[in-house]
């Protein structure tokens, strides 16, 4: 076998391993978000400990993937789309890890709410709806990454606007509720923090999708509203 | 001149240019944060438009620096500490840009508060104090980057705990205030958003400092509480 083929095969294996690790990390983050939302709706705060434990695994994976990225660049000296893939991954894992942090914040908010009482029913529906939209963004962003599908990534970026609108509507409802009945202030502030964490998860999914577009076709569409029309 | 020296000199110039651009971007972000806090305290909402305009420059710088990082890696095939510098910068600019976003959120909160009335005096002091601590973290993180000073970077990471404590104390005060006088709810929610944005700026400065430690001595100390003792 000629040397260049051999090297190229090893390099392909490196890149395949990196992608697998990112998808594994992404799967953990998705589970983490889904579990924190389930705990929020159901009030089963026992789940919260497991969420905090998974957060450590997610942190370790981020560090391992970043380390792998640096080693692959040093060893393989990638260029063009291979280099974009590695640099994109290095940005993607940051957003995945921070999504995991938001899931942890949701879990902690859930614990506070359920220690003081229960989640008022009228917010269960809104929070679930917001969370489903954000979780679907994360899922599709990871799907776009797995299949290197730039068009799907653009759809995720577009979906972020709806999550932002729903988030603002929940905040407005909460403020009205607090003004009508000041006894609900503490719980409302916790629900607000949960809604904000979900909204941020949507932002991270958007950031991940922007990196997928960069990896796929080399365009950096961040902050470029025209690019997603 | 032998070829290797020539290449190395060009490479050094590339790295020097990158560092200069990061410090320029950092300077804009610092100014942005300081201006948004000044507007918050003084109520001069005219400043808000300038803050939104600077945000575009910061976004453009982030994209230009990221693009430069990719080109330098492809052209120079750096290894060891040179590669760490470039990868570290690619993470640092993300945190700088997101700090700029938080400054924009502060500015928008300021506009809402001052459209409805003025910032209640008792919060001016707390917000200013919190902001000074966070701004000092950003300044020192950039200083640590400029001088590649790992010890200073560790100090910044340690300082984040104090910002978090102060932030939580402001939130508690605001909740008490809202319960005592529900007419303050809307303004209190806006002040809360401003305090949270400042707290996040501290988090970003911490993240930047972690990257400085990585660049300086190759240690990835993220999520490792033992490393900063």
Q: What is the pLDDT of residue B47?
A: 81
Residues in chain A: 229
Say yes or no to pLDDT of B160 above 80. yes
Do B99 and B131 contact (CB within 8 A), yes or no? Answer: no
What would the mean pLDDT of B186-206 be, rounded to a whole number? 97
Residues of chain A with pLDDT under 70: 1-7
| Amino acid B204: pLDDT | 98
pLDDT at site B42: 87
Distance of residue A225 Cα from the nearest chain B Cα, in angstroms: 12
B184 contact A CB<8A: no
Contact between residue B212 and residue B137 where contact means Cβ atoms under 8 Å apart: no
In this prediction, residue A5 carries a pLDDT of: 55
Encode pLDDT of A121-137 as tens digits.
Answer: 778 899 999 999 999 99
CB contact under 8 A, B73 and A74: no
Q: In this complex, is the C-beta atom of B14 within 8 Å of any C-beta atom belonging to chain A?
A: no
A125, two tokens: 């529906």
Partners of A73 on chain B (C-beta within 8 Å) are 73, 83, 87
Residue range B126-153: average pLDDT? 97
**Nearest residue in chain A measured CA to CA from B75:** A79
Inter-chain contacts counted by CB atoms under 8 A, chains A and B: 75
- Cβ distance A34 to A88 under 8 Å? no
- Nearest by CB to residue B83, choosing from A63, A70, A179, is A70
ipTM: 0.95
Q: Give CA–CA dist B96/B60, Å, rounded.
A: 12
- B5, pLDDT greater than 90: no
Cβ–Cβ < 8 Å for B37, B127: yes
pLDDT value for A210: 98
B171 CB neighbours in chain A (<8 A) are 189
If we measure between CA atoms, which residue out of B7, B23, B1, B6 comes closest to residue B148?
A: B23
Residues of A with CB below 8 A from B66's CB?
A: 87, 220
Q: Are the CB atoms for A95 and A52 separated by under 8 Å?
A: no
B29-85 residue pLDDT tens: 999 999 999 998 888 888 888 888 899 999 999 999 999 999 999 999 999 999 999
SS3 content of chain A, % helix, strand, coil (to 5): 90, 0, 10
Q: How far apart are CA B36 and CA B112, in angstroms?
A: 13
Does any CB of chain B come closer than 8 Å to the CB of residue A187? no
- Which structural domains are found in chain B, ordered by start? 3-228 (1.20.58.220)
Q: Which member of B70, B94, B171 has the closest CB to residue A83?
A: B70
HEC letters along B117-144:
CCCCHHHHHHHHHHHHHHHHHHHHHHHH
Tens of pLDDT, residues A13-49: 999 999 999 999 999 999 999 999 999 888 888 888 8
Cβ within 8 Å of residue B106, ≥6 positions away: B33, B36, B37, B39, B40, B194, B197, B198
């Amino acid at each position: 076998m000629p040397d260049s083929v051999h090297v190229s095969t090893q390099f392909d294996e490196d890149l395949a391993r990196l992608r697998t690790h990112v998808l594994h990390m992404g799967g953990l983050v998705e589970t983490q978000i889904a579990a924190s939302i389930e705990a929020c709706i159901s009030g089963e705060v026992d789940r919260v400990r497991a969420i905090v434990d998974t957060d450590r695994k997610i942190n370790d994976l981020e560090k391992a993937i970043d380390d792998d990225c640096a080693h692959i660049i040093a060893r393989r000296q990638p260029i063009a789309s291979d280099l974009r893939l590695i640099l994109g991954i290095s940005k993607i894992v940051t957003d995945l890890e921070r999504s995991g942090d938001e899931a942890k914040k949701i879990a902690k908010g859930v614990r506070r709410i359920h220690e003081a009482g229960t989640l008022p029913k009228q917010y269960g529906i809104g929070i679930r709806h917001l969370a489903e939209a954000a979780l679907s963004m994360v899922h599709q962003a990871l799907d776009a990454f797995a299949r290197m599908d730039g068009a799907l990534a653009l759809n995720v970026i577009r979906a972020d606007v709806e999550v932002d609108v729903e988030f603002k509507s929940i905040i407005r409802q909460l403020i009205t509720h607090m003004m009508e009945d000041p006894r609900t202030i503490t719980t409302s502030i916790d629900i607000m923090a949960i809604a904000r964490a979900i909204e941020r998860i949507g932002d991270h999914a958007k950031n991940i999708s922007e990196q997928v577009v960069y990896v796929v076709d080399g365009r950096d569409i961040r902050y470029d509203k025209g690019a997603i029309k």
